[in-house]
Amino acid sequence: MTAAKPPRESRPASAQSGRRASRLVDIAEAAGVHVSTVSRVLNGDPAQSIRPETYERILSAARQQGYRPNAMARALKRSRAGALTFVIPLLRNPIWVKLQRGSLQRAAERGYVVMIMEEPAEEPRPPDSYRYLVEESRADGLLVATALRIPEHAAGLPAVPHVYVNRRGPHRGNDVVMDESGAVRIFLDHVTGLGHRSVAIIDGPPEVDTVHRRVAAARRMCASRGIRLTVRHAPPTEEGGWRATTSMLRQGPVPTACGVGSLNQLFGVMGALRDAGVAVPGTMSLLSFDEDECLAFLDVPVTSVSMPLAELGGAAVDALIARIEGRPAGDLMIREPMSLLLRGSVSRPGAQPAASDVEG
C-alpha cells in the first residue's frame, strides 16, 4: 500500500546551489533526537529543560550543517510572515532615503524584513491596492507613505494592519507624522525675528498632507502675528518651483522671505530668482524645509530646517509592529530632533548681498 519513500534527489535543486539547505529533520538525525526537540532547543523554548548533553549535540550539529530555519514554513505555521511592506513614492527627493534607512534598521532590529513597493508618482494608486500583500500573507502589515490625500483614496485600509507614514490617513488612529507646524514655526520665528513682515511659502500641491499642514500652520501663525503671507502651490519639481517663483515675482508686493517645501522645488526657485535678478539673501531670504548636505555647497548656501526623518521611519515600524501584535495604539507625532541649520540664505530684509544668517 504505502510505497517506499522516494529518494531525496527528487526535489528541485536550485540552479546554482549544489547542496540542499539543511532542515530540522537533518540535524535531528545527526543529533539522534526528534525534530521537535531540535525545534525547542533552537528556539530557546522557555519551558525547556533539556539535558545539556543533547543540547550541545543539537547545537553543534546545527552549526556544522549551517542550518537556517525556513522562513516560509515558519510563517505558514505561525501565520506570521515576519515581513513588512513599505509603500513609498520613489522620488528623487532625498528625504525618502533617510526614511527608508530608519525603517530598515528598526525593522531589522525587531526581526522583520522590509519589502519596498514603489508608488508610481504619476498615477498614484489608492493604498487599498496594496493590501493584497497582507492578504497573501507575504507581509504582516503595511507602511504607507504615499503622499496624497484625495477622495478616491479615502477608503483606507480596514482589516489590514497598517500605518500611514508622514501623512494622515482617512480615519485617524494609524498615523505617524512629523511636526510640520513646528518646522513652520522655526521658519517664521527666524525670519520675523530678523524683521521680515511679508513672507512666502512655495510648496507642493495642497493634496499632499505635509504641505497641507505646513500651509495651515503658516496661515494661522501669520494671522496671529500680523504677518503678510503669500502661498504658492506647485508640482514638487524644479520646474514647479521655477514657475511658482516667476509668477509670484510678477504679481504684487513681493515678499522678502520665502520657505520652500522640497529640495527639487528649491533648485527651481533659486533659478527663477537668479533669472529675475533677485539677490539672495539681499532682496529675498530663502529657507528650505528639506535638508540635504548639498545645500551647504550651493552658490549661496541655503538655510534649512532639518526634520527627524530616520526617527520617523523607526517609529513607524514600531507602531506597525504594535498593531500587528494587537497592542493598543494611536496617532503619533515625531518632534525630535528638529533643528534650524543656519547657512547664508537668510538675512535682514533689504540687507546687502554679502550678509549671512544673523543670530536671533
Determine, following the binding rule CB under 8 A, whether residue 324 of this chain makes contact with its own copies.
yes
Cα separation of 56 and 213, whole Å?
59
Q: Which is nearer to its own copies, 69 or 195 (CB)?
A: 69
Cα separation of 308 and 302, whole Å?
19
Q: Which is nearer to DNA, 20 or 228 (CB)?
A: 20
CB of 166 to its own copies, least distance (A): 17
Chain positions 73 to 102 lying near DNA, rule: CB under 7 A, are 73-74, 76-79
Interstrand relation of 257-260 and 141-144 (parallel, antiparallel or unpaired) = unpaired
Which amino acid appears at position 360 of this protein? G
CB of 137 to its own copies, least distance (A): 5
Q: Which is nearer to its own copies, 66 or 151 (CB)?
A: 66
CB of 349 to its own copies, least distance (A): 24
CB of 105 to DNA, least distance (A): 24
The option from DNA, its own copies, none interacting with 331 (CB < 5 to 8 A, set by class) reads none
The option from its own copies, DNA, none interacting with 280 (CB < 5 to 8 A, set by class) reads none
Q: Which is nearer to DNA, 32 or 193 (CB)?
A: 32
Q: Which is nearer to its own copies, 7 or 360 (CB)?
A: 7
Interstrand relation of 332-334 and 175-178 (parallel, antiparallel or unpaired) = parallel
A 10 A CB-CB count for 325 gives 12
Chain positions 19 to 78 lying near DNA, rule: CB under 7 A, are 20, 23-25, 32-37, 39-40, 42-43, 48-51, 53-55, 67-70, 73-74, 76-78
Instruction: Return the C-alpha cell found at 352.
Output: 546687502
**Hey, is 119 helix, strand or coil?**
coil
Chain positions 111 to 130 lying near its own copies, rule: CB under 8 A, are 113-118
Q: State the alpha helices, DSSP H only, in 194-308.
A: 209-225, 238-250, 263-275
Determine, following the binding rule CB under 8 A, whether residue 25 of this chain makes contact with its own copies.
no
Which residues are CB-neighbours of 102 under 8 A, at least 6 positions away? 309, 310, 311, 312, 313, 314, 317
Q: Which is nearer to DNA, 55 or 181 (CB)?
A: 55
Cα separation of 141 and 157, whole Å?
10
Cα separation of 242 and 313, whole Å?
31
Q: Which residue carries 529675475 as its cell?
A: 276
Chain positions 131 to 170 lying near its own copies, rule: CB under 8 A, are 132-133, 135-138, 140, 158-162
Cα separation of 59 and 132, whole Å?
38
C-alpha distance from residue 250 to each of 237, 245, 254, 281 (Å): 20, 9, 8, 19
Which amino acid appears at position 225 of this protein? R
The option from DNA, its own copies, none interacting with 292 (CB < 5 to 8 A, set by class) reads its own copies
Q: Which is nearer to its own copies, 179 or 291 (CB)?
A: 291
Which range touches its own copies (CB under 8 A), out of 34-42, 74-82, 191-199, 342-350? 74-82
Beta strands in the chain (DSSP E): 83-88, 113-118, 141-144, 162-165, 175-178, 198-203, 228-233, 257-260, 285-288, 303-306, 332-334, 339-341
Instruction: Return the C-alpha cell found at 160.
Output: 489590514
The option from DNA, its own copies, none interacting with 51 (CB < 5 to 8 A, set by class) reads DNA
Which range touches its own copies (CB under 8 A), out of 11-19, 37-45, 219-227, 344-352? 11-19
Which amino acid appears at position 113 of this protein? V
The option from DNA, its own copies, none interacting with 24 (CB < 5 to 8 A, set by class) reads DNA
Q: Which is nearer to its own copies, 87 or 218 (CB)?
A: 87
Q: Which is nearer to its own copies, 161 or 255 (CB)?
A: 161
Site for DNA, rule CB under 7 A: 2, 5, 11, 20, 23-25, 32-37, 39-40, 42-43, 48-51, 53-55, 67-70, 73-74, 76-79
